[in-house]
Structure 1
Amino acid sequence: MKSDKSIHNISIAAIKRSTMKPYDFKWTRFYTDNAEFIQWYSGIEIELSENELVICSTIIDADNFSVLTTRKLVTKENGTLMAGNRIGAKDKSHGDFKDYYAKKPLTFGSILLDNGRDLKYFIEVHKASMVMIHGVRTWIRTESMTNDQVEKVARIWTRQNENMADFKAPGAITSD
């Protein structure tokens, strides 16, 4: 069984790998630890098991949010709470995350749960969309990976992310 920490590490590495900086989105965040989530959203109560870690979220208000943890995806839409786990889940849709059609700041992604039920989740459109899309996608994919594979990929992606942080494109304008 994969540890919560290894699922968290690979998910955060995937998010950082695919999301353009700066990470200053209106509703969407990813978290290095649970304390960071609580610091930002003390009014959002998500029941966490021992060692369960918050990966990312899109939080509009207390009645409309999605939170991805290492064990479940939780969405509250108009006050109605829904949740599901990744076992047997399939990535289904990312909605209009580029905002081509609806011209709205939010869209819904969805996953198909093992029991045949769809579970929607909020996605903030444009650059922020990559946080929830890659968080959920990676979270689902870890089910078919071994713990060693998850840890190895997380290490590689984290190292690549760190190397890219130091990269300066030739001819780039910098403040140095």
Structure 2
Amino acid sequence: MTEKKDLSIYTICMGNFERSVIWDKCEAKFSRIFKEPELFPQIFAEFRINNNEEELPICCCKIDDKNWSLLTTRKLFTSKAGIINIIDMETAQLDSYRNPHNFNEPYTLGLLITHDGNDHEFFIENGYCCQVMVSAIHERLILQKNSEEENQRKIKMLIRRGFLEEN
């Protein structure tokens, strides 16, 4: 059973993808949105989020098997050269990302910092598809401050505006 907060974070992020990502211009090579979380194991067969059933995958930027970033409802995982770094999104804030609209390079790195000052890089596909990781991480950071009631209001607003279907 998925915890209410995880499900609402996931739902809001999916609605915001529909609202903000320019899919008609986005030819994603590395970015993926997990609209169907059960398909996650097909993309990351070698990696398990954890044993927590409530945590849901939101999106990823997978350059190759050793270089990727994965955002879930609770954490951001990044593997650089096969070394996995994990950051709890409840302790993170966005620091910066290099120009993700650089069409000459296939990807760039963003930077999150934790409240204790530790840096955490993450992969961003350059071009129009940069919005997958950038908007999801930005939205996730906003949602960490919201109560479940505020999240439910946001879901209703996304339904009213046609970005989400009512269940």
How far the C-alpha of 1:131 sits from its partner, in A, is 0.7
- Work out the CA distance in 2 between the residues paired with 1:24 and 1:44: 25
Tell me the residue number matched to 1:151: 152
Q: Is the 8 A contact 2:15 2:163 kept in 1?
A: no
- Work out the CA distance in 2 between the residues paired with 1:41 and 1:12: 20
Tell me the residue number matched to 2:94: 91
Matched pairs, number: 161
How far the C-alpha of 1:154 sits from its partner, in A, is 2.5
Distance 1:162 1:11, change over 3 A: closer
How far the C-alpha of 1:41 sits from its partner, in A, is 3.2
TM-score, normalising length: structure 1: 0.83
Distance 1:2 1:87, change over 3 A: farther
Tell me the residue number matched to 2:128: 127
Q: Is the 8 A contact 1:2 1:146 kept in 2?
A: no
Distance 1:141 1:2, change over 3 A: farther
Q: Determine which of 45, 66, 70 is the counterpart of 1:67.
A: 70
Q: Is the 8 A contact 1:59 1:66 kept in 2?
A: yes
TM-score, normalising length: structure 2: 0.87
How far the C-alpha of 1:43 sits from its partner, in A, is 3.2
Q: Determine which of 19, 22, 30 is the counterpart of 1:20.
A: 22
Q: Which has the higher strand share?
A: 2
Q: Is the 8 A contact 1:65 1:122 kept in 2?
A: yes
Greater shift, 70-79 or 13-22, is seen at: 13-22
Which of these two proteins has the greater Rg computed from alpha carbons? 1
Q: Does 1:29 align with 2:24?
A: no
Distance 1:140 1:53, change over 3 A: same
Q: Percent same amino acid among aligned pairs?
A: 26
- Work out the CA distance in 1 between the residues paired with 2:34 and 2:106: 22
Q: Is the 8 A contact 1:19 1:130 kept in 2?
A: yes
| RMSD of Structure 2 on Structure 1 (CA) | 2.0
Q: Is the 8 A contact 1:74 1:84 kept in 2?
A: yes
Distance 1:161 1:58, change over 3 A: farther
Q: Does 1:57 align with 2:60?
A: yes
How far the C-alpha of 1:84 sits from its partner, in A, is 0.5
